[in-house]
Structure formats: structure tokens, C-alpha cells
Amino acid sequence: MAILDPYEYGLSDEERELAGLVRAFADERVALQAYEADRTKTLPLDIVAEMGEMGLFGLPFSEDVGGQGGDYLTLGLAIEALARVDQSIAITLEAGVSLGAMPVYRFGTDAQRRALLPDLLSGRALAGFGLTEPEAGSDAGGTRTTARLDAGEWVIDGAKQFITNSGTAITRFVTVTAVTGTVGDRKEISTIIVPSGTAGFTVGPAYDKVGWHASDTHPLSFDGARVPEENLLGERGRGFANFLSILDEGRIAIAALSTGAAEGCLEAALDYAGTRIVFGERLGTRQSIQFRLARMQQRVHVSRLAWIHAARLRDTGRPFAAAAALAKLTASDAAMDNARDATQIFGGNGFMNEYPVARHYRDSKILEIGEGTTEVQLLVIARALGLTGPAPSGR
């Protein structure tokens, strides 16, 4: 048992109740299917439906659109609780909210919100966000997918990759960034809603990934895919800027997920160290193991402080981009370090997929890459310190 109560950290009674509810659901329902879902690389839609019934997909949305009237702190608490036992389920919730529903909520027209949000916020449907391309990841400004207007329709050509929640049986649509023109010498990038089943829109086979096996992830291709002009999401030419603001919020959620992963590793390692007998003694009596576990607890605590701080800034309308980058950097490092330490404590058993630490070891690496790599977070933090890029040649 960790020495720090995960329900503290200045949480209200309602927030503590939510955290406890989702933790119980994670232990009693999600954990029991995690190994099999990972082994078969299958997203359990029954679990997704149950999360929808609990209101988890609607947490940070206002009640007037069918949400729960919560905020990013409550969403983070739910994601952290799920990630302790299954990162694939946690990222399904995170992406479903941050990348699927939030762009529609923030930038959609009233008609788009009425048509799309009810099913997304109830967990009856999922949506993906197509930003990353084969040659445009962190450099999203390198987008090559194009969309042109023809007879009142957008005609889309291009490809996206690594798109979460894009190919499930309940995926309703994907929102894609596309070049819709030029402004001076710069690309005009807009976001467009493309419904599943649109002619010319192909969802490729699921990736064979290192981790997050139960999370749905596909490449997408567009070959003359046509959608109505009113499927433009937000102001034309604001697609990239709008997505960056969504990404800042998503980094808080990924930090919460990373914290949950780090905590799951700590919990498993504590239990193992207390029961594993080595040379006639419990493994946890060895000081080297005790010190390793103490470091793991330190990482969980600091990570939770970091993401909660960023969430409170966001939820009270204060600047939070640098805090979100700090939280994502701190927590993703913690998840990887704790996964490594937990696997070492388990020894040979830690290399067996039946143990959750093995799954965390495989899953956690992507936390240093997705929603902005470690290097991107460092760049954001450096800029917040007032630092600029390399000086021009000769200076």
C-alpha cells in the first residue's frame, strides 16, 4: 500500500467519490479482462459501453450538451484510475474525449454539436482525430493532405497514420486536418469531419504495435473522399491553431494516464516484494528493493501534483500550456522509470505478459511520444522560460 492517499491532493468530496468509483470499476471490471484483451488485441466494447453508462465520456462537458458538467480535473481522475490496470482502456477514454468529442464541442456549429455530441458523450460512439501523417508528426505544419471545394463539397486526398479510435464498430467519424489553400507563403490548414463509410475514405488494417494492444489504432487514406461543405469544423484556416489548443489540454490527460501507469507499477511491485521469498526472506526486506520502491513512490507523487496543478490552471481559465508540458514530461518519465523498476523487481516474472508490469513496460514507451514527444515538451518549457531557437548563422 502506498504511503500517500491518492484521494488527497486537495480534492473535493465529489472528486474523491468519483475517483473511488472509477478505481473500483477498474479493479472489479477492467483489470479482469485486461490480459485477454491485450493478448487478442481487441478493444472490449462492453467495457466502453459501461464507461459510457457511468458518464465518463461526458465528464468535462457542460450539461446543456449532455455532459456531466465536470472539468479536466475530474476527467484526469478517471483516466488515472483506469490506467493503473489497463492503459489501452484509459487511452480509449482520453482520446474519445480529448480528440474525438472536444474539437466538436469547442469549435463545432450548433448543428454539429446537436448531431454528434449526444452519442460521443454517452459512449455510444467514438471518433478519431487525423493529424499525424507519414511525413508530418511533431511538425504538423508539414501537412500534405489536401481538401478542395467542388460543387459544395470538400474533396479530400491524402493519408493519416497512428489514429486512435478510428476503426471500431462504433466509430462515427474522424476529424482530419487538411491544406485548404495558402495564405501568402503559408499553408492554410483547416479541419473537416469525415463520417465513417464515406466513399474514398479507407481505414487501413490495425497496426501491430509494441503496446496498447487493445487500443484501436489505424492508418487512414483519402482518395477523392467527398463530404458536404458544412463538414468544415471551426473557422477555415484555423484548424492547426485550434488543434494545438486541444493538444495542450490533452497533455494534462496524458499526464494523468502516465501517473496511473506509474502507480499501477508501484502497487504491483509493492505486493510482489511483500510476498516473494528470496533466500528465505521477503524480497521487500532488502534495502536495495526498498530504495527502488521509495523512488517509485516519489515519482507517482510528483507526477500527480504536476497534472493536478495543470488541470486546476486550465479549469480556472489561467494559462496552462507550460504547466501541461511540465506535467506530461514529468509523468511520462515516471511511467517509464517505474515500469522499468517494477519489471526488475519482478525479475523473470516481469518478462511474462501474464503479469501487469510486463504490459506496463510495453505500453509506457508511447507516453513519451504521443500528444507531443518528450523533445516537444522540452521545447515548450524552454520557450516559457523566454529562450528562443538557435541564433542565425554568424552570430
348 and 248 in a common domain = yes
Query: Which range of residues forms the domain containing residue 175?
Result: 127-239
268 and 221 in a common domain = no
Residue 267: CATH number of its domain: 1.20.140.10
pLDDT for the residue numbered 4 = 60
pLDDT for the residue numbered 393 = 40
Task: Report the percentage of the chain scoring pLDDT > 90.
Answer: 87
pLDDT confidence bin for 389, thresholds 50/70/90: confident
Of 246, 250, 249, 251, whose CA–CA distance to 326 is shortest?
Answer: 251
pLDDT confidence bin for 183, thresholds 50/70/90: confident
pLDDT, tens digit, 9 for 90 and up, residues 18-29: 999 999 999 999
Continuous H helices in the chain: 13-25, 31-40, 45-53, 72-83, 87-95, 102-107, 110-121, 239-275, 287-315, 321-346, 356-363, 374-384
258 and 203 in a common domain = no
State the pTM of this model: 0.94
Question: Could you give the residue numbers annotated as active site?
Answer: 371
**N residues, the chain:** 395
pLDDT confidence bin for 165, thresholds 50/70/90: very high
142 and 25 in a common domain = no
pLDDT, tens digit, 9 for 90 and up, residues 247-266: 899 999 999 999 999 999 99
Q: Is residue 89, in this structure, part of any structural domain at all?
A: yes
pLDDT confidence bin for 240, thresholds 50/70/90: confident
Mean pLDDT estimate for the chain: 94
132 and 107 in a common domain = no
pLDDT confidence bin for 241, thresholds 50/70/90: confident
Q: Is residue 306, in this structure, part of any structural domain at all?
A: yes
Q: Is residue 5, in this structure, part of any structural domain at all?
A: no
150 and 28 in a common domain = no
Q: What share of the chain is helix, strand, coil (3-state, %, to 5)?
A: 55, 15, 30
Instruction: Name which residue leads in pLDDT, 240 or 168.
Output: 168
Of 88, 217, 121, whose CA–CA distance to 162 is shortest?
Answer: 217
Rounded to 5 degrees, what angle do the CA atoms 175, 246, 313 make?
160
pLDDT, tens digit, 9 for 90 and up, residues 38-53: 999 999 999 999 999 9
Boundary of a domain, candidates 178, 206, 239: 239
Boundary of a domain, candidates 239, 266, 293: 239
Residue 139: CATH number of its domain: 2.40.110.10
Task: Report the percentage of the chain scoring pLDDT > 70.
Answer: 96
pLDDT, tens digit, 9 for 90 and up, residues 73-98: 999 999 999 999 999 999 999 999 99
Q: Is residue 41, in this structure, part of any structural domain at all?
A: yes
Q: Is residue 1, in this structure, part of any structural domain at all?
A: no
Pairing of strands 186-195, 277-278: unpaired
Measured from the Cβ of residue 202, the count of other Cβ atoms closer than 10 Å reads 14
170 and 114 in a common domain = no
pLDDT confidence bin for 2, thresholds 50/70/90: low
Q: Is the pLDDT of residue 232 over 60?
A: yes
355 and 289 in a common domain = yes
Q: Is residue 390, in this structure, part of any structural domain at all?
A: no
92 and 30 in a common domain = yes
- Phi/psi at 282 (5° precision): -65, 140
pLDDT for the residue numbered 138 = 64
Q: Is residue 294, in this structure, part of any structural domain at all?
A: yes
310-325: average pLDDT: 96
- Total domains in the fold of the chain: 3
Helix (H, G, I), strand (E, B) or coil at 211: coil
pLDDT confidence bin for 181, thresholds 50/70/90: very high
Residue 79: CATH number of its domain: 1.10.540.10
- Phi/psi at 174 (5° precision): -125, 145
131 and 232 in a common domain = yes
Q: Is the pLDDT of residue 3 over 60?
A: no
Helix (H, G, I), strand (E, B) or coil at 383: helix
pLDDT, tens digit, 9 for 90 and up, residues 92-127: 999 999 999 999 999 999 999 999 999 999 999 999
260 and 246 in a common domain = yes
pLDDT for the residue numbered 388 = 83
Boundary of a domain, candidates 239, 264, 295: 239
- Alpha carbons within 13 A on the beta-carbon side of 78: 24
pLDDT for the residue numbered 264 = 98
282 and 206 in a common domain = no
Q: Is residue 118, in this structure, part of any structural domain at all?
A: yes
